[in-house]
Structure formats: C-alpha cells, structure tokens
Structure 1
Amino acid sequence: MCLSVPGKVLEITEEDGFKMGNIDFSGITKRICLEYVPDIQVGEYALVHVGFAISKIDEKEAAKTLKLLRELEQMRDESKEDSSP
C-alpha cells in the first residue's frame, strides 16, 4: 500500500533529460519528477508518491483528497489533546 498526496504543478522544467516540476502541496513547494505523467501541464494536479508524480487528477478530486487529509490531521491533533494529562 502506498500513500500519494495531491499537489498543483507550478512550473515544469527539464533536468538532465528528465521532466521535473515544482509542485505545491498546500503551501509547501517540492521538486518532483514528472516522467510518469508526460502530458501534465502547469496548473494541473498530480498524485505524488516519494518524489514521483504517478498520475494526474482533476482539481475537484484533489480538493476532496486534501480536505480529507486536513480532517485526519485535525482528528490526530484532537486525539493528542485528549490524551494529555
């Protein structure tokens, strides 16, 4: 099982013959390999796993996934607060 996170493509470049991109993950920008999604364009969303974009997704699906991840983070934080002495 793997976890992939959606991010928005901000910039696409080529480095040493590889298609690379700057991808925004809710305010954090990372350099990601785009070789597995050769048709992706700036402004589109990708699912990213360990530094590689593995598929494209639409903006609606990306927003839905990001919302679920934020909810999980909030539940984790609330759980930590509940277990504090």
Structure 2
Amino acid sequence: MCLAVPSKIVEIKESLATVDVDGVRREASLLLLEDVSIGDYVIIHAGFAISKVDEDVARQALVDMRNMLDAAGDMSDKTV
C-alpha cells in the first residue's frame, strides 16, 4: 500500500527538488512535472514528484493525517 503525503518544495536544483514534510527533508525528481516552484506542494512516488497539489488541500491532508496518527496512538495505549 502506498500513502501519498503532500510534500512542500523548499529547494530546486535543475530537475531535482528538496521537499519537506514536518521537518523531514528528502530529494525528489521533477522530471515528470512542469511548472513547479519553490513553495508548491507535490505528491512523491518512488522518488518522483508525480502531481502538484493545491496548498489548502495539502495542508488539510497533513492535518488529517496527524489527527489519524494521534487517534491510532491513543487506541494502542488501551487494553482490550
């Protein structure tokens, strides 16, 4: 299963971007996308940025993912 996490472009050098998610930075190829800039949010798969995502949608997706992780952590603390 793959999980698409919106990642913010913080640096671009030729066709390689540095992307950030909550302070974790990784490199991703931009060869599959046109018209991306620093500050844009993209979806990364197998090291490639495969789609550009609206900033509001990206931010909401990150909030929702954090909430799900928090809820899963709360559930693992309880005994059945």
5 Å-filtered alignment, 1:25-40, equals: 25-40=21-36
Sequence identity percentage: 34
Code of the residue aligned with 1:7 in structure 2: it is: S
5 Å-filtered alignment, 1:1-85, equals: 2-14=2-14, 19-83=15-79
Unaligned runs of 5+ in 1: none
CA distance in 2, matches of 1:30, 1:22: 6
* Residue 52 to residue 83, structure 1, CA distance change in 2 (3 Å): farther
Q: Does the residue aligned with 1:71 lie in a helix, a strand or coil?
A: helix
- Superposition deviation, residue 65 in structure 1: 0.5
CA distance in 2, matches of 1:50, 1:77: 27
Q: Calculate the aligned-residue CA RMSD, in Å.
A: 1.6
CA distance in 1, matches of 2:58, 2:3: 14
CA distance in 1, matches of 2:38, 2:63: 22
Could you tell me the TM-score, scaled by structure 1's length?
0.84
Code of the residue aligned with 1:74 in structure 2: it is: D
